[in-house]
């Protein structure tokens, strides 16, 4: 993969594109109430030429609507059928950006809009099966509501890649993306950040020509909160390569973090009504609340169980009085709690293991390296050969390392290990070959094929999850309690 291309994608100032999508028009009202920018197509929509708007106070009918918008940055107002214009009734969406300016977007009102009754809040799932069922139900409902032919639940993984874990599609759509993984670089961080500010992102026609935004000054307006913001050319090529003409996506935000996207594809231009978009957005939010409640409940149950398990280990340590005599019993406990294949305890230059021991060279490389990383108390890797310099060929592919001050001699290091777990990952196209096509303007473009491409993953262990890391910190506390050097 071409790194400079990926870095360029990260730097593309998406919100300052200086253009909008063609299915609406845009006016930007500066904090002083005057129009600072308009889209070049404004005359077709409002029957007033751009020159008659720029620099003047906002037209009265818009100014009245804007009185309802909160002065807070990021606030948003959506009004259906807010304006009578030569083109017919228009919907209005206004959003206030970080500098106090307001982007007013006007799009055609669709009279066939669905009634916007509030979506009922779903119940908190009780287990993983119910959670999976609620995901399937969500994508099914959104497909029904928006008419998009394929709707996917695209879950982000910890390392930034994503996987389609639920999908609703019309039968005639060729192929399924269910179970396929896509690399993190398909959605740059800069695009992910915009999802935190917007309830959805609609591209009704990826083939339409963007419309420039005109201003009295050279500076482009900040369109971070505007759904009409034009789309990066790289992404338009990506969609075309996927056979997608219209795209609609909703962010799933849990605990302030973008955890998944509901990604909708259609093979022809498609523009759902504002009412349908609002309703679908409410459904996604309701689902996010249910996911958040589910995760919180699981975390509480886990912490509760953990407290009891730690008490058992504390008793064991107190009974033995010191680490080394407790080790045979403690080792077995640690293997179970950390779901590890082996655990090795190092103090000074001596060490003892329970379960699978490291080969001598592997332990020397890992311990030598971890000891150098002062300040790092809990560290985990599922791919040691890539992260630890001079790590030799070994059956052990992953480790979780814990360091704690012990006695006057130095640190106690505990290394949990996991064996190599050879497994297959099904990707949506070969992720290492995204650059297959040369385009006149762009030079390079995303991969063309999204056919299932299976990678056999060698050198990885089962990953260490957040709970394992948290358990690592709890273990530090516990070992700290019996530190013989403690005052």
Neighbour-count burial of 407, counting CB atoms closer than 10 A to its CB (0-12 exposed, 13-18 middle, 19+ buried): middle
Residue 298 exposure: Cα atoms within 13 Å on the Cβ side? 14
Decide whether 264 or 279 has the Cβ nearer to ligand BLA: 264
Sheet holding 211-215, edge to edge: 19-20, 211-215, 35-39, 24-29, 102-108, 88-96, 76-85
Applying the rule CB under 6 A, the residues between 193 and 212 that interact with ligand BLA are: 201, 203
- C-alpha 205, offset from chain centre: 24
Looking at the Cβ atoms of 12 and 467, the one nearer to ligand BLA is 12
Residue of 37, 235, 403, 418 that binds ligand BLA (CB under 6 A): 235
Using the rule CB under 6 A, is 261 a contact of ligand BLA?
yes
* Binds ligand BLA (CB under 6 A): choice among 36, 97, 249, 394: 249
d(CA 405, CA 377): 10
Residues of this chain, 422-441, that bind ligand BLA according to CB under 6 A:
434
Nearer to ligand BLA, 9 or 380 (CB): 9
232 binds ligand BLA, rule: CB under 6 A: yes
Q: Are 212 and 6 in contact (CB under 8 A)?
A: no
The answer to whether 50 and 243 are in contact (CB under 8 A) is no
Q: Bridge partners of 260?
A: 155, 252
Nearer to ligand BLA, 6 or 173 (CB): 6
- Polymer length of the chain: 487
Within positions 301 to 330, which residues make up the interface with ligand BLA, using CB under 6 A? Answer: none
Rounded least distance, CB 448 to ligand BLA, Å? 11
Task: Region of 473 please: left (phi>0), alpha (psi -120 to 50) or beta.
Answer: alpha
Among 28, 39, 191, 354, binds ligand BLA (CB under 6 A): 191
In angstroms, what is the minimal distance from the CB of 291 to ligand BLA?
Answer: 19
Contact flag: residue 446 with ligand BLA (CB under 6 A):
yes
Binding residue for ligand BLA (CB under 6 A) from 36, 97, 226, 247? 247
136 touches 125 (CB < 8 A): no
In the list 154, 338, 358, 427, the residue contacting ligand BLA (rule: CB under 6 A) is 154
DSSP state of 21: -
Please list every residue from 168 through 187 that binds ligand BLA, using CB under 6 A.
177, 182, 185-187
Q: How far is the CB of 239 from ligand BLA (least distance, A)?
A: 8
Q: Is 12 in the site for ligand BLA (CB under 6 A)?
A: yes
Of 176, 102, 178, 110, the residue nearest 146 (C-alpha): 110
Instruction: Pick the stretch among 73-81, 84-92, 217-225, 233-241 that binds ligand BLA (CB under 6 A).
Output: 233-241
Question: How many residues lie near ligand BLA (CB under 6 A)?
Answer: 29
Q: Which is nearer to ligand BLA, 5 or 377 (CB)?
A: 5
Residues in contact with 301: Cβ distance below 8 Å, sequence separation at least 6, in sequence order: none
Give the tokens for residue 421.
């777990």
Does residue 238 bind ligand BLA (CB under 6 A)? yes
Among the listed residues 42, 104, 231, 412, the single contact to ligand BLA using CB under 6 A: 231
Least distance CB 107 / ligand BLA (angstroms): 16
Q: Which is nearer to ligand BLA, 238 or 391 (CB)?
A: 238
Q: How many CB atoms within 10 Å of residue 182?
A: 19
Contact 124, 88 (CB under 8 A): no
Contact 226, 77 (CB under 8 A): no
Contact 191, 14 (CB under 8 A): yes
Contact between 251 and ligand BLA (CB under 6 A)? no
Minimal distance in Å, beta carbon 209 to ligand BLA? 15
Q: Does 21 bind ligand BLA (CB under 6 A)?
A: no
For 399, counting Cβ atoms within 10 Å of its Cβ (0-12 exposed, 13-18 middle, 19+ buried), the class is buried
User: Is residue 152 near ligand BLA by the rule CB under 6 A?
Assistant: yes
Residues of the shown chain interacting with ligand BLA in the complex, contacts defined by CB under 6 A: 5-6, 9, 12, 14, 152, 154, 162, 164, 177, 182, 185-188, 191, 201, 203, 231-232, 234-235, 238, 247, 249, 261, 263, 434, 446
């Amino acid at each position: 993969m071409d790194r400079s291309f990926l870095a360029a994608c990260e730097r593309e100032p998406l919100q300052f594109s200086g253009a909008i999508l063609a299915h609406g028009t845009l006016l930007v009202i500066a904090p002083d109430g005057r129009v600072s920018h308009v889209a070049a197509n404004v005359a077709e929509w409002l029957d007033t030429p751009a020159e008659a708007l720029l620099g003047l106070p906002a037209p009265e009918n818009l100014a009245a609507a804007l009185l309802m918008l909160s002065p807070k940055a990021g606030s948003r107002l959506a009004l259906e059928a807010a304006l009578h214009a030569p083109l017919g009734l228009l919907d209005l969406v206004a959003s206030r950006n970080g500098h106090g300016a307001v982007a007013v977007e006007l799009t055609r009102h669709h009279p066939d809009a669905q009634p916007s009754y509030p979506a009922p809040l779903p119940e908190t799932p009780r287990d993983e099966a119910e959670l999976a069922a609620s995901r399937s139900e969500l994508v099914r409902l959104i497909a029904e509501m928006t008419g998009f032919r394929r709707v996917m639940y695209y879950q982000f993984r910890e390392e930034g890649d994503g996987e389609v874990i639920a999908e609703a599609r019309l039968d005639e759509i060729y192929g399924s993306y269910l179970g396929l993984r896509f690399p993190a670089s398909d959605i740059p961080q800069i695009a992910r950040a915009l999802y935190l500010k917007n309830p959805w992102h609609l591209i009704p026609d990826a083939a339409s020509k963007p419309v420039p935004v005109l201003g009295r000054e050279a500076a482009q307006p900040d369109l971070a909160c505007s759904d009409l913001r034009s789309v990066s050319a790289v992404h338009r090529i990506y969609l075309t390569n996927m056979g997608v003409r219209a795209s609609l996506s909703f962010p799933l935000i849990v605990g302030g973090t973008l955890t998944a996207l509901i990604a909708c594809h259609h093979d022809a231009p498609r523009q759902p009504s504002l009412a349908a978009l609002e309703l679908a957005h409410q459904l996604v939010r309701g689902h996010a609340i249910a996911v958040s409640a589910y995760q919180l409940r699981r975390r509480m149950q886990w912490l509760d169980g953990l407290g009891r398990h730690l008490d058992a280990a504390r008793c064991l340590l107190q009974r033995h009085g010191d680490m080394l005599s407790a080790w045979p019993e403690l080792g077995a406990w640690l293997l179970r709690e950390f779901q590890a294949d082996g655990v090795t305890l190092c103090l000074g230059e001596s060490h003892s293991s329970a379960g699978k021991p490291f080969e001598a060279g592997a332990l020397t490389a890992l311990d030598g390296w971890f000891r150098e990383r002062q300040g790092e108390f809990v560290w985990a890797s599922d791919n040691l050969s890539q992260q630890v310099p001079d790590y030799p060929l070994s059956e052990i592919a992953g480790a979780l390392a814990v360091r704690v001050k012990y006695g006057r001699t130095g640190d106690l290091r505990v290394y949990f290990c996991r064996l190599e777990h050879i497994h297959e990952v099904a990707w949506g196209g070969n992720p290492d070959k995204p650059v297959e096509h040369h385009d006149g303007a762009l030079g390079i473009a995303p991969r063309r094929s999204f056919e299932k491409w299976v990678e056999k993953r060698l050198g990885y262990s089962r990953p260490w999850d957040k709970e394992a890391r948290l358990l690592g910190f709890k273990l530090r506390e516990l070992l700290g309690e019996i530190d013989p050097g403690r005052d």
